[in-house]
């Protein structure tokens, strides 16, 4: 029977952990804007930096 106590205790601790995570996410305004982040994550930063480097190299060459 003692297995029950441990299991239930563990499950509750886990669930409370998720609840705290949820409350934290609400309090830190993560539900304010549910559209922009979904677009933002698709922006390709790496290629852009490459382009920047290329153009910088070009400009240094011309100098």
> If binding is defined by CB under 8 A, does position 10 make contact with other proteins?
no
Q: Look at the alpha carbons of 37, 42, 43, 44 in this order and tell me if their dihedral is positive or negative.
A: positive
Closer to other proteins by Cβ: residue 39 or 63: 39
The residue from 29, 46, 60, 62 that contacts other proteins (CB under 8 A) is: 29
Give the DSSP H or E segment for 52.
helix 45-62
Q: Are 25 and 31 in contact (CB under 8 A)?
A: yes
Mapping DSSP to helix (H, G, I), strand (E, B) and coil, where does residue 20 land?
A: helix
Which residues here bind other proteins, judged by CB under 8 A? 1, 4-5, 8, 12, 15-16, 18-19, 22-23, 26-27, 29, 31-36, 39-40, 42-44, 47-48, 51-52, 55
């Amino acid at each position: 029977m003692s297995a029950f106590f441990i299991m239930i205790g563990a499950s509750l601790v886990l669930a409370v952990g998720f609840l705290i995570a949820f409350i934290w996410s609400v309090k830190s305004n993560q539900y304010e804007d549910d559209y922009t982040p979904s677009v933002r994550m698709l922006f390709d930063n790496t290629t852009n930096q490459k382009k920047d480097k290329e153009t910088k190299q070009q400009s240094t060459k011309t100098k």
